[in-house]
Structure 1
Amino acid sequence: MVAMLLLGFASGLPYLLSGDTLKLWLRDVGSDVKTIGAFALVTLPYAIKVLWAPLVDRFVPPLLGRRRGWLLGCQLAIAAVLVGIAGSRPDDGLTAVAALALALAFLSATQDVVADAWRADVLDEREAGVGVAVFVGGYRSGLLVAAALAPILAVRMPWATVYLAMAGLMVIGMVGTALAPEPAIPASPPTLSQAVVGPARDLRARLGYRLPIVLLFALTYKLGDQLAGNLAGTFLQDIGFTKDAIGAIRGGIGLAASVGGVFLGGAIIVALGIPRALWIFGALQALSNLGYLALAEIGPRHDVMAAVVVVENICGGLGTAAFLGFLLKQCDPRYSATEFALFTSLMALGGIALSAGSGALPVRYGWSTFFLVSIAASLPGLLCLIRVAPWSSPPQRG
């Protein structure tokens, strides 16, 4: 489980460095809200990573094996791109920064494909719930460093130095790769065409008529959470909070609460089962955005922000634990990289598609309307549960 934690950290760290943390840097150099909102497009690789996931299943690197070899290669490349971002100058233009951020997202998404496949391969059914909690706990810890430590450091040193420090932290993931066992899985598909076609045939055979609704569920369950999260940092800046406060409360306390929510979710899933957990946690993660709505009306009060951020992150962590536990159980070990990538790509695609133009909403209608829309965006995923995981269905306890 130590390797699970460290690999989760390495997966979480780069995500915000091409997302919210980078947006804070862009805001510091004078970029407008619409431009910052559009920067959600650089995270497109997270939505389309399924397109190259079959390569991960098909080809085996010359060192460390099919899963660990890919992990180490991705981690080294991520560190190199972070060094490149550190050497860029966003105040002179955003083209180079956008290109490097896109490369970072591509490499990070590929690392996620491999790490998710490794997790699916090494965890049996009894370990799935706990394993998801440990990995996501590590992932959220990586987010915590990128979202909390990086902005706090940026008050005291240049952003370029901060990104160099983040590049150095990728060593943690490399240690995780060294400690991780190479899973005992069937041989890789003999041809690339089989690696591409095999997962589709398998999902159709196993899920049957439920396949379209399962895919729709993967697309929509986290929509409201993603929409609010895309501009939450910008919202807090715009209503008067400093970077120190955002880093300490949203990035620090909030992400710590998220880690706690994930572990709490794993424990609750054992008692309730995944279907009922999906219903309860999905409703909670939607309603938690009401806190941002209240904060938009109240203004920059640190005690209110702390309460809102803690509740929102605990609820988001609960939803993530149940959601990933459900998706993990839908994968066949023969095609775990591609099948899990398909599900999580759909999740990312929904968030990116909805978030890319989201900057226009608060500009035109105000932040209160924006957060009401984020709550409404959660409803399609909850409706999918009627067919995907009915309340009365037998509990699946990972």
Structure 2
Amino acid sequence: MSTSPLPVTDPTPDPPSTMPRSQRLTLVALLYCTQNLSLGMFTYAFLTIAQANGVSLATIGAATGLATLLVLKFLWAPLVDRYGSSRLGHYRGWLVATQSLLAVGAASLALLDPAEDFAIALVIYAALFIVAGTQDVAADAATTRLLTPSDRGIGNGFQSAGSCVAQIVGGGLVLLVYGAAGWAAAALVLAVWSALPLPFVLAWNEKTTTATQPRPRVTRKTITQFFTRPGVARWALLLLPVYTAGGTISYNLVRPMLVDAGWSESEIGTVVVIAGSAFGIVSGVTAGMFIRRLGRRLSLVALGLTQVAACLGTVALALGSDGRTAVILVVALSNIGFAASGAIVYTISMDLVRHESAGTDFTLFTTVSGIAMAVAGGLGIAAAGSAGFVPVTVFAALLAAAGVVVVGRGITPVLAAMPSEVP
């Protein structure tokens, strides 16, 4: 017997006044600013320190694959929606557990030596990535249910900025503390940072703030009907990949171009990781405010044009504009465009989720997006290796511009499938 597609339901009336808007936004911001800290520390600090202390490059390369555990979170996302604590609150219980485990796990790294205890540290990081993936699912679901449609732009601006915070803290601050006080102190700093959202999570009364919404639940039918709902397949499988492809290719070429231009790793770390991430934080939050004021359609076009500008800057870099001022400008544009586009992509994806399966739905969107971006970035770097940076960056700019046009014209059915409350 055939089944009709489930409608996109949203229904999010304003949450009760028991939790003011400022507190809701603060909770969301802290959750998103801490969820990728373990990945940032692993990628930018732990592996670098281990290599500097004698771990072979081949071993380091193999270890980087451990981070793929974060991509697999879609496998257990339905469990987060289906099972929860009635006493603590469904998603609140998951967040209390995961934030605590992230803090304890980071603190346990202080007992190890990054090189001598490399294998044990990898086991701890594997556990941290599974916990971080679970926290990500619960945080996305909580955000969907906590925020009104008009506040989702700001909330997802925080999400877009959050990955930049993880790079600065996990890759910048941790390395600075390591240089000044050693590995144990660096790990404890990460543990303290990971625990920052806990007081706000504990203060959140989930039952009262989400009392009018459907009870979280996931069945096999919920999952199989994900792409059959109006607007979902069009957004996830066509518009989203087309919109992000050009900017992703361009963004991923900046670091290889600087290496090719003779920049040292420390210079790249300072300019790309720290300064670039700072621009990304400002851009993500600012983009969220734009989304609230402009609405979805205009924001897609306006923020998509920032990607085009970023791609054009990368073309200039490929043509030889590699002076420090020019590079900083290109890095700024690249991170601004990447974070701004991320904010609107996350917002529209969140508009399309069902509140009873918010964690599962949003995770499926981000999984599709992550795969598309990984493929685009990888192909771009491979193409640059054979054809050179100039033609690939020009292609990326043209692709980004085409993406804005295609999405601007093709987004109408997606927006029509959204609830009337969505601006």
TM class by shorter-chain length?
0.7 to 0.9
Deviations 1:153-198 (A, max 9, x none): 4444545643342122111122332233413343343xxxx43422
Residue of structure 1 equivalent to 2:4 = none
Where does residue 17 of structure 2 map in the other structure? none
User: Which piece of structure 1 moves more, 140-149 or 20-29?
Assistant: 20-29
Matched, 1:73 2:97: yes
Q: Is the contact between residue 293 and residue 371 of structure 1 (CA under 8 Å) also seen in structure 2?
A: yes
2:234 aligned to 213, 226, 237, which one?
A: 213
- Cα 1:179–1:359, aligned 2, differ >3 Å: closer, same or farther? farther
User: 2 CA distance for matches of 1:153 and 1:371?
Assistant: 37
Q: Deviations over 1:30-83 (max 9, x none)?
A: 889998777664332343322211111111136521111101211222234434
Residues 369 and 102 of structure 1, relative CA distance in 2, 3 Å threshold: farther
Q: Aligned-pair distance for 1:115? A: 0.5
Closer, same or farther: CA 134–353 of 1 in aligned 2, 3 Å: closer
Which residue, out of 67, 88, 96, partners 1:64?
88
**Alignment partner of 2:153: what SS?**
helix
Aligned to 1:10: 34
Question: Quick one: structure 1 residues 113 and 225, their matched pair in 2 at CA, closer, same or farther if it must change by over 3 Å?
Answer: farther
Alignment of 1:197-212 (within 5 A): 197-201=221-225, 204=228, 206-207=229-230, 210-212=231-233
SS for the counterpart of 2:150 is coil
TM-score (norm 2): 0.75
Task: Decide whether the 8 Å contact of 2:40 with 2:167 is kept in 1.
Answer: yes
Match of 2:197 in 1: 173
Q: Within the alignment, does 1:308 sit opposite 2:330 as a pair?
A: yes
| Contact 2:226-2:232 within 8 A present in 1 as well | no
Matching residue of 2:371:
349
> Shift of the alpha carbon at 1:344?
0.9
2:284 corresponds to which residue?
Answer: 262
Contact 1:290–1:372 (CA<8 Å) still a contact in 2? Answer: yes
Deviates more, 1:358-367 or 1:39-48: 358-367
Could you tell me whether the CA contact under 8 Å between 1:285 and 1:316 is conserved in 2? Answer: yes
CA contact (8 A) 2:280 2:335 kept: yes
Specify the structure having the higher radius of gyration (Cα).
2
Pairing of 1:317-332 with structure 2 (within 5 A): 317-332=339-354
Aligned residues: 391
Look up the match of 2:271.
Answer: 249
- Equivalent position of 2:74 in the other structure: 50
Give the direction of change, closer, same or farther, for the CA distance of 1:177–1:384 in structure 2 (3 Å limit): farther
RMSD over aligned Cα atoms: 4.0
Q: Which sections of structure 1, spanning at least 5 residues, go unmatched? A: none
**Partners of 2:96 and 2:198 within 8 A in 1:** yes
User: TM-score, normalising length from structure 1?
Assistant: 0.79
Contact in 2 for aligned 1:151/1:243 (Cα 8 Å): no
| Alignment of structure 1 residues 227-246 onto 2, 5 Å | 236=258, 239-241=261-263, 245-246=267-268
**Aligned equivalent of 2:129, options 95, 101, 105:** 105
Q: Structure 2: which 5+ residue stretches go unaligned?
A: 1-24
